[in-house]
Amino acid sequence: MSWRGRMNHSILRYPGSKYKIRKTIESVLKKNNLKLDLFVEPFVGGGSIFIYLLENKLVEKVIISDKDNLIYSFWKVLFKNPTVLIKFIKNVSVTTNSYIKYKNIASEPKRYNITTLAKTCLFLNRTSFSGIIAQTAGPIGGKKQISDYKIDCRFNKQALIKRIKEISKYSNKVTVLEKDWQTTTKFALSKIKKKRKSKSLFYFDPPFYFKSEKLYRVTFNENDHINLSKYLLRFKKNWLLSYDNAIFIKKLYKRKYRTIHITVPYTVNHKVKKKLKEIIITPLNI
């Protein structure tokens, strides 16, 4: 799929394709006869799922959250003040010097305001190898820019601006938080309580079990994976969880839930281009 195709749903690039997850969620909604009034994404990252649901009119309201302050800032500013990002895209020079500047900002985020962090997130995401904004990643084309693919090859200014305009139209439907998944879930539950007949779906996409420290700025240790499983095994709402295909993770959930295997092209290393599997776990009928 071309990068234009991928950008159909999100604006941030994130490792792993979410195509199968989107299709699964769509079919879960149909099979369980769910017309959602609330969709909750406590590990929002690149956010392709909530955007897909909004654009296809499958949900009324959305709560998204990420503990990474760069990711949070990006979504918050996109929905609150998209013109700032549009101006930034128009004016920024997409060069390795800018890359170094934004990499430095990302290494000391507490010193900067939310607008600067939002710009930094967008810049690094669209100019880094595989969209990885963790410190480990480098620019597309390498520091010397001798590859066929240069640093600006995924920074099509017109397309990015168009997408920001399209997505930001949904600002009145989206709440953006910078919280741990548990606080976000509690917050969403408190909203649901107020609306008695609310139909909601929680989509959990935590950091992968393998190599996640290379992919994300905020990651999970084994205890975090265990805590999430303990919570979800008792969670009474409609939920769906996706992970990389790790035996450790499958063991946590196996007692209670069907595990569905799906193949998702995993494109972090284009040279190797391994086909790894991602799993989906849910109490819902899929």
Ligand X SMILES: C[S@@+](CC[C@H](N)C(=O)[O-])C[C@H]1O[C@@H](n2cnc3c(N)ncnc32)[C@H](O)[C@@H]1O
Q: Tell me whether residue 68 or residue 152 sits nearer to ligand X (CB atom).
A: 68
What is the smallest separation between the CB atom of 148 and ligand X, expressed in angstroms?
A: 26
Q: How far apart are CA 4 and CA 6, in angstroms?
A: 5
Q: How far apart are CA 154 and CA 149, in angstroms?
A: 9
Q: How far apart are CA 44 and CA 64, in angstroms?
A: 6
Q: Tell me whether residue 41 or residue 152 sits nearer to ligand X (CB atom).
A: 41
Count other C-beta atoms under 10 Å from residue 72's C-beta. 22
The stretch near ligand X (CB under 6 A) out of 44-52, 80-88, 143-151, 269-277 is 44-52
What is the smallest separation between the CB atom of 88 and ligand X, expressed in angstroms?
A: 21
CA angle 190, 194, 199 (to 5 degrees): 85
Residue 174 in the binding site for ligand X (CB under 6 A): no
Q: Tell me whether residue 39 or residue 96 sits nearer to ligand X (CB atom).
A: 39
Task: Tell me which of 7, 24, 42, 75 binds ligand X, using CB under 6 A.
Answer: 42
Q: Tell me whether residue 51 or residue 86 sits nearer to ligand X (CB atom).
A: 51
- Which residue bears the tokens 């017309």? 35
Query: Taking each helix axis from N to C terminus, what angle separates 247-254 and 222-233, rounded to the nearest 10 degrees?
Result: 30
Residue 204 in the binding site for ligand X (CB under 6 A): no
What is the smallest separation between the CB atom of 31 and ligand X, expressed in angstroms?
A: 22
Count other C-beta atoms under 10 Å from residue 268's C-beta. 19
Element (H, E) at 176: strand 174-177
What is the smallest separation between the CB atom of 48 and ligand X, expressed in angstroms?
A: 5
Residue 244 in the binding site for ligand X (CB under 6 A): no
Task: Tell me which of 53, 96, 207, 268 binds ligand X, using CB under 6 A.
Answer: 207
Give the pairing of strands 174-177 and 259-265: unpaired
Task: Tell me which of 6, 9, 18, 154 binds ligand X, using CB under 6 A.
Answer: 18
Residue 131 in the binding site for ligand X (CB under 6 A): no
Count other C-beta atoms under 10 Å from residue 165's C-beta. 13
Residue 68 in the binding site for ligand X (CB under 6 A): yes
Q: How far apart are CA 157 and CA 282, in angstroms?
A: 39
Residue 150 in the binding site for ligand X (CB under 6 A): no
Residue 154 in the binding site for ligand X (CB under 6 A): no
Helix (H, G, I), strand (E, B) or coil at 139: strand
Residue 262 in the binding site for ligand X (CB under 6 A): no
Q: Tell me whether residue 24 or residue 48 sits nearer to ligand X (CB atom).
A: 48
Tokens of 51: 């955007």
**Hey, what amino acid is at 108?**
E
What is the smallest separation between the CB atom of 38 and ligand X, expressed in angstroms?
A: 17
- Quick one: DSSP state of residue 186? H
- Going by C-alpha positions, the residue among 68, 84, 61 that lies closest to residue 175 is 61
Residue 141 in the binding site for ligand X (CB under 6 A): no
What is the smallest separation between the CB atom of 196 and ligand X, expressed in angstroms?
A: 28
Contact set with ligand X (CB under 6 A)? 14, 18, 42-43, 45-46, 48-49, 66-68, 71, 180-181, 205-207, 216-220
